[in-house]
Structure 1
Amino acid sequence: MTTDHTDLALPALKEMLGERLSTGESILELHSHDEAYSEPALPDAVAFPETTQEVSEIMKICSRYGVPVVPFGIGTSLEGHVIPIHGGISVDTSRMNKILEIHESDLDAVVQPGVSRSKLNEELRATGLMFTVDPGADATLGGMAATRASGTNTVRYGTMRENVLALEVVLPDGTIIQTGSRARKSSAGYDLTHLFVGSEGTLGIITQLTVRLFGQPDTILAATCSFETVDNAVNSVIMAIQMGIPMARIELLDEVQMEGMNIFNPDLNLPEKPHLFLEFHGSQAGVKEQVELFESVAEEFDVGGFQWATKAEDRNWLWTARHNAYYAGKSLKKGCEGLITDCCVPISALADCMARSKELVAESGLIAPIVGHVGDGNFHLMILFDPNVPDELATAKSLAAKVNHVALSYGGTVTGEHGVGTGKKSYMAKEHGAAYGLMAVLKRAVDPENIMNPGKTVEVTDAEPGLFPSEFRDP
């Protein structure tokens, strides 16, 4: 990164944005952290652009003076993505919140990055369409694209990778580019759209998205069911997936998480055993068939019975309880903090990987409830620790590291949906090998001064000019 002359950039930014450039203490603090347990860091200022052209001008000024830029959606990330660890300017896209176009016949919508998923779905309600990516938090679509978010519906509808058709992006030097189109497929050149989906703000700022929509299902049915062991619950899911049962959501909560769920949601009152939370979408006849097939599978693994939610308000209450799993987990240990980690493995390895992870939790002496989008092999641990007890944070970090290495040993990834940020950066070389060097080459090509979210995911310093870094070269 070139010399940071933030003191020279601020007057130019202030002249352009006026009161929409803030150095107020409360605003800086709001943009110093995300939802996870990470060390906060204050930006020098926060910019609130309202148009793509303003984002472009911000980037031109910051590029000229070598000022770090960190894109900010709503701050719900979990791996330190939005923390300005080198200071600089936090670019908050919350005022770029317009739904620009809805194409009902083509099943797509064009939106600005500050639009939240709930706002889009409210707008779509009367059309019979829906946007399906649901990471739990009411995140902005720009942030969801930048982190390649997924969530509870992924097993049926896919992640942001599958649901973003095109982007408008402002590059580090202020250049505005369009990637992709509203066509459902293309063979024209590099797939730049999906280079930026998941780039975590390290290559540019997303200023417009074209996203895929789906028809609202005629019938929706949700349920919970309990099992005696996590293995039984996971193996029932594996068999259901292998049979091709098209379930919309399949969520696992282990017995520890269920204890927390009952504490946090007293009306839930479910057995403190491993549970699956399920949802089925389709026609009335199709949902009936899906349910019957899954029940027959679950019976082979000693399912403890089903509790059904057919009314919309009951389903919403059930999934709200699931989305509040973080707070439910924290209720297991008074005064604790939660170190959250996630990984993802091939579904055939999921039961073994989770069993080994639970053994590691027991060896650590800590409490770590598990939840998982088990339909796609993804699970999460929230490792609870007391910040006032010496060494508990270090033990929690050691446990997370061990689980990450276990996931890699099963042919998986250290993060299925939380992303890299600063929290998972140290594992990237082991997971990707020489491909991580290529990422650094791409980063350097797009952002040679390393001003875009520096210190996250990959560094330009990891690449030598024209070559892969020496540590990644083949002998």
Structure 2
Amino acid sequence: MTTVEAAWVDALRARLGERVSVQPGDLTAHARDEGTPYHFAPGAVVFARSEEDVVGALAVAREYGVSVTPWGAGTSLEGAALPTPGGLSLDLSGLDTVGEVDAVGFTVTVGPGVRRVALNRRLRPHGLFFPVDPGADASVGGMAATNASGTTTVRYGGMREHVAVLRVALMDGRVLTLGSAARKSSSGYALKGLFVGSEGTLGVITSLTLRLHPLPPATASVQLAFPDVAGAVAASITLRGLGVLPERLEFVDAATIRAVNRHRARRDPEESTLWTEVAGRDRGDVDAQLALVAEAAALHGGRVVGEARTPEAASALWAARHGVYDALRAAWPGHTTRIGDVCVPLPALADTAALALRLLDDHGLTAPLVGHIGDGNLHLLMHAPPDDTDAWARIDHVLHALAAHAVAVGGTCTGEHGVGLRKRTYLRAEHGEALDVMRDMKALFDPLNLLNPGKVVGEVEVEG
């Protein structure tokens, strides 16, 4: 460590004491995320325990010109949480307080380090839940930073719809309170929405007031099998047209079911498959919705192959969908994975799914196709040996073509995983001159370019 590097670490220690670490194990733990092959070790890690710790760390970083990258649970898939090599990784997992639940206003104030599963465990005795479910047990601060969504988006929306109030520490030392617990406001600029999805490039989230929902009185799930992908996609659109607003609506292709069957010793029909969960006032309401779901499936050659009305039965029914990632790793041991993530308008969904399958076939690749199909979000689970440069070149081509197609049809290059490092190359095509305004905003909030530099609106230096 050089004299300059030692100086800023010493300054951090003087201010934050034992919450500063340069231990090799801590540096390594903050050098990688779950979705990229990059390894960028920070020069130090600060394990913040309070808003004051965050403000103090930013003050030292500002004084010494050190880059700062917020860290939650490390579940990022596009490099958003990777530090600048030698910079500061600001670990917020210790800000994990959960305030008193407002059972009248349906809100709760939490620290950014609170994990999604633990939060819902705390909320259940109150008859409430936080619905945003990206699959991973992510921190809610990280979920807000990437505007996360997931399996429940079709019914409830993503993080932007569920953050009532944010407290955000800026690089200049100010801490802003943005938003209101009121259900609506026409006061001032909507700055809160600007920070949700900014991936730590504008400020550091120090607390969130989240909107909650009552647990549904009655729910049921159904599994539907189709002879092809097109039928499953069409049925997902038809059932929405019949007035069904499901809690979840998920899709996997036949190859995925085959892999999960092998991995979990299941016997699900190896066909394109939809799962949906519906909720209602009572069993009669749920039964009526399930009848409409079955009708939509039948119109497109589908059939009901499983049904669940208890939590235990639902867990078993959904096991194939939830087991996709583990089944993939087991099916191709030693392979590295990369997950494609595009979201398109519903009218373009069928053609996008067909294009994905054609691209895989044309390039001699196999990749399970899965999706939060109710909101037009598709994922390709690409895989290859880490040193197979030819395969990775073909994978890059497929994912690039799919992202470019999504943007061209009015969709987005990233439905929920964020921009991070790897999706920056598509932002000009997707946003046009608005990208320049985004960069102006970055310069306004972070004129020294120290907050997660190079991410989201940064110039493209690393392409995947």
Q: TM-score range by the shorter chain?
A: over 0.9
* C-alpha distance in 2 between matches for 1:397 and 1:5: 39
The corresponding residue for 1:468 is: none
Instruction: Deviation per CA, 1:415-439: give whole Å up to 9, x if none.
Output: 1001100011111111111011110
Q: Residue 390 of structure 1 aligns with which residue?
A: 389
In structure 1, what residue type is equivalent to 2:268?
Answer: L
Query: Aligned ranges for residues 178-197 of structure 1 at < 5 Å?
Result: 178-197=177-196
Paired AA for residue 412 in structure 2: T
How far apart are 1:459 and its partner, in Å? 2.9
Question: Retained in 2: the 8 A contact 1:259–1:332?
Answer: no
TM-score by length of 1: 0.94
Report the alpha carbon displacement of residue 286 of structure 1 after superposing the two structures with TM: 1.9
3-state SS of 2:303 partner: coil
1:377 maps to 376
- Please identify, of 7-16 and 158-167, the stretch whose mean Cα deviation from structure 2 is larger: 7-16
C-alpha contact (below 8 Å) 1:260/1:330 kept by paired residues: no
Where do 1:113-132 residues align within 5 Å? 113-132=112-131
Using a 3 Å threshold, how does the CA distance of structure 1 residues 254 and 460 change in structure 2: closer, same or farther? closer
Alignment map for 1:5-20 (pairs within 5 Å): 5-20=4-19
Deviation at 1:226, TM superposition (A): 0.5
Matched, 1:272 2:251: no
- Aligned amino acid, residue 66 of structure 2: V
Q: How does 1:35-46 map to 2 (within 5 A)?
A: 35-46=34-45
TM-score by length of 2: 0.96
SS for the counterpart of 2:331 is: coil
Mapped to 2, the partners of 1:413 and 1:270 lie a distance apart of 33
How far residue 59 of structure 1 moved from its aligned partner, in angstroms, is 0.5
Q: Tell me the residue number matched to 2:142.
A: 143
- How many angstroms does 1:57 deviate by? 1.0
1:447 partner letter: D
Per the TM alignment, residue 101 of structure 1 is displaced from its structure 2 partner at its CA by 2.6
Q: Which moved more, 1:382-391 or 1:319-328?
A: 319-328
Aligned to 2:222, the other structure's residue is in SS state strand
How far apart, in 1, do the equivalents of 2:310 and 2:460 lie?
55
Give 2:54's aligned residue. 55
3-state SS in 2 of match to 1:209: strand
Q: How much does 1:330 deviate?
A: 2.7
Q: What corresponds to 2:99 in structure 1?
A: 100
1:461, distance to aligned residue in structure 2 (A): 11
Counterpart amino acid of residue 125 in structure 1: R
Separation in structure 1 between the aligned mates of residue 76 and residue 409 of structure 2, nearest angstrom: 26
The whole-number CA distance in structure 1 between the counterparts of 2:262 and 2:43 is 41
In structure 2, the CA distance between the partners of 1:125 and 1:364, relative to structure 1 (3 Å rule), is: same
**SS at structure 1 position matched to 2:101:** strand
Deviation at 1:334, TM superposition (A): 2.9
Shift of 1:5: 4.8
400-409 vs 318-327, which deviates more?
A: 318-327
Label 1:344 to 1:5 Cα distance change in 2 as closer, same or farther (>3 A): farther
Partner of 1:449: 448
Q: CA deviation at 1:322?
A: 2.3
Residue 38 of structure 1 and its aligned partner are, at CA, apart by: 2.4
| Structure 1 alignment gaps of length 5 or more | 463-475
Q: Tell me how far apart the structure 2 counterparts of residues 461 and 446 of structure 1 sit (CA, whole Å).
A: 21
In structure 1, give the amino acid aligned to 2:191. Answer: L
Structure 1 equivalent of residue 281 of structure 2: 283
Look up the equivalent residue of 1:272 and give its one-letter code: E
Say which SS state the counterpart of residue 295 (structure 1) adopts: helix
Worse-superposed segment, 297-306 or 155-164: 297-306
Q: In structure 2, the residue corresponding to 1:301 is in which secondary structure? A: coil
Using the TM superposition, give the Cα deviation of residue 320 of structure 1 relative to its aligned residue in structure 2, in angstroms: 5.1
Say whether the 8 Å CA contact 1:366–1:385 is kept in structure 2. Answer: no
Percent of residue pairs bearing the same amino acid type: 41
Q: What corresponds to 1:471 in structure 2?
A: none
* Residue 91 of structure 2 is aligned to residue 87 of structure 1: no
Partner residue, 2:67:
68
> Within the alignment, does 1:25 sit opposite 2:13 as a pair?
no
In the alignment, the residues of structure 1 paired with residue 216 and residue 256 of structure 2 have an alpha-carbon distance, to the nearest angstrom, of 30
Letter in 2 for 1:130: F
Partner of 2:359: 360
* Equivalent in the alignment of 1:419: 418
| Distance in 2 between residues matched to 1:208 and 1:63, nearest whole Å | 22
Contact kept, 8 Å, 2:294 with 2:304, in 1: the verdict is no
Contact 2:421 2:456 in 1 (8 A): yes
Q: Which amino acid aligns with 1:265?
A: R
Aligned position for 2:307: 308
User: 1:30-81, CA deviations, whole angstroms, 9 ceiling, x for partnerless residues?
Assistant: 1011111321110001101111111011101101111000000000110011
Shift of 1:393: 1.5
Residue identity opposite 1:123 in structure 2: R
2: CA distance, partners of 1:50 / 1:303: 52
How far does the alpha carbon of each residue in 1:436-461 deviate from its partner, in whole angstroms, 9 at most, with x for none? 11100000000000100011001389
Give the 3-state SS of the residue equivalent to 1:305 in structure 2: strand
In 1, Cα distance between the equivalents of 2:290 and 2:333?
39
Map of 1:408 onto structure 2: 407
| Conservation of the 8 A alpha-carbon contact between 2:278 and 2:289 | yes
Match in the other structure for 1:176: 175
Question: In 2 relative to 1, CA 193–460 (structure 1 residues): closer, same or farther, beyond 3 Å?
Answer: farther
Q: 2:389 and 2:130 mapped to 1: Cα distance?
A: 45
Structure 2: tracts of 5 or more residues without a match: none
Deviation (angstroms), 1:323: 3.0
Structure 1: how far apart are the matches of 2:459 and 2:296? 50
- Preserved contact between residue 113 and residue 141 of structure 1 (Cα < 8 Å): yes
Q: Which residue of structure 2 lines up, in the alignment, with residue 351 of structure 1?
A: 350
Contact 1:441 1:460 in 2 (8 A): no
Give the equivalent residue in structure 2 for 1:465: none
CA root-mean-square deviation: 1.6
Code of the aligned partner of 1:274: S
Q: Secondary structure at the match of 2:104?
A: coil
Alignment-mate amino acid for residue 26 of structure 2? I
Cα deviation digits, residues 84-117 of structure 1 (max 9, x gap): 1343110111111010231000011110101111
Residues 120-152 of structure 1 deviation map (CA, whole Å, 9 limit, x = unaligned): 111111111111001001111000000100010
Q: Judging changes above 3 Å, is the alpha-carbon distance between structure 1 residues 85 and 397 closer, same or farther for their aligned structure 2 residues?
A: farther
CA distance in 1: counterparts of 2:160 and 2:354, whole angstroms: 29
**Aligned-pair CA distance for 1:311:** 1.9
Q: Is the 8 A contact 1:37 1:337 kept in 2?
A: no
- Give, as a single letter, the amino acid of the residue that structure 2 aligns with 1:402: A
Q: For residues 458 and 5 of structure 1, do their structure 2 counterparts lie closer, same or farther at Cα, with a shift above 3 Å needed?
A: farther
Q: CA deviation at 1:264?
A: 2.2
Secondary structure class of the residue paired with 1:391: helix
Q: Would the aligned equivalents of 1:137 and 1:323 in 2 still touch at CA under 8 Å?
A: no
What is the Cα deviation at residue 246 of structure 1? 1.2
Distance 2:328 2:459 in 1: 38
Which secondary structure state, in structure 1, belongs to the residue aligned with residue 389 of structure 2?
A: coil
